[in-house]
Structure 1
């Protein structure tokens, strides 16, 4: 079967790889000049099964209300006259019960564990290098209330097989001495030894090169503009390249992996995906002092920031701004990340030399992605991964390749049927 994958971010490229390994002919189309240069470009860098507590949880509604007036809030709704935003927000509220949060944690932990092991096997098989570190992820809490609130989600994750351990501040310092400047403020921490970190852009581009060598065709600088077909079947995908040439790509089946823009193209096909762009930010700074710089990947839970060591660079990323498809760099939010990072580890990096980045992460209200067959008979979905696209990419792609090939995935997951 010849399959067109729409999107060359980390999810699209992993989809292409596993589909090719399943014996399919694969073409990938993307509007950028190479793989992994939009949302996958400068994300937080974590492979974080332990980051499975969804934004939608019982404590979220009051927090969101409090954050509405804070321009540097971790999760910020910038209210717009946008029906999609309001529908997303209403659905988000329905996911904030303890029962829905527990169900969503189960989905994300199951997918995360499967995806992490799939990534590890793929890395070994192909010898991929992408500044990876296998030193675990340490969540630290500077609020006693937030630390206590983390105990129940941690217990649920443990029951599902995620080895996330509750530890005290002394143990946190043993694992990561770079936290010494804030030792007196750490209320507690959790540690997941099997989690990892690495540069998603380097991984995506390295895997794209392997996929191309294996026979996958990449059509870069080519934008999807529309579809030909009937209500239940795609007959072709209309594209335009950088020189303005139009072309219709006709394949047997299609995979939608276009991040936040997946919702837009689903509407063109007559159905809805409840995906809304969550604008995230990151800073990347050169290491200043090796002794003061961290090695273990960190999550600052109170501020919803993640820290990853990428060779001689330190990446700090986080926050989510629901403000439509605006991609302007908000310096208030970037400087808030610099301020917090320099407060936590002042000598770790040349924070004043930080490179700023922003990207649109495709968020669902539940944080659970769409993976599987759509209501259009020859269209498959692999999209809506929110902040966990890097974490879930390999498992999502392997499961999708099974579904496309008529096999039952190994993964226990609520595969979509929209």
Structure 2
């Protein structure tokens, strides 16, 4: 499976983060790997981020999961949508879909959100702060595309939903199975299901705010500093006004801060860790097996796979995996690159992949896990 009649470089040069674009029949004969019952089952599980949005005469209503099976029996015949976040973390078959968008840096990938809607189901007019490819899995959905929004765009709060107060459609597309619609950050859009069994798979890409980047980097720098090292005055002038903060003092403070910020090696490690970080990383860590016991499992035939939803990246010094940086020697660069080309849920050949110490560290980090053939 590959995007049909699609030039990735042209798309990046002319469209990416600029304007919406319909890719008609980009995935011909696409077979959606799940149906409404599958999605509803996921929405009933603890720890799965799920929502139901209903459109009513007086606006929209938001219900948050996890849900009970009986909840779905009380829904009306039309005008509701079920959304489940990070479905690629639970469904191995979605790795193949993610692979179609690897012309975007892997470390920008967020997740795949899946929505199921009956006739008229929608989540209202809105805009997102991230890039998204809306893949029509089954059924039909009519999308209306509006203008670019800003911080000044009027928002109407409907039960916690940040919906646009005013929406004017500039373009309109009817998506059928296999169609893909790209929507950049800040562009208003509104999709309404036409008919039942409408499934849309939203391939989203993370884009932290500049505020989040600066704050996170500052926290990371501070975590390495010695609290005992305190501010020291520059040369003071005894005749200066006692309440004045002079330009010399400001320059002194700026130099102090820049001394810690202007560190390329620190920046590289921090950025790789931040962009591969996952929520609740601590729950993924598994150090219950000693290195000897782990290697024995492999020797006895155990197979490793890349955990569903694992986030990988690399630079010339580190392999970044789920929020941690693992240094590697130059001779392992090709092995690191190969690992980063594997999709989540795929088994790996440990005989030709990195060092045993690195593999064990990735296992303890939860990035690699033992293959469970019961999921097939």
TM norm. shorter chain > 0.5:
no
The TM-score range, normalised by the shorter chain, is: under 0.3
- TM normalised by structure 2 equals 0.26
Greater length-normalized contact order (CA 8 Å, ≥ 6 residues apart)? 1
- TM normalised by structure 1 equals 0.24
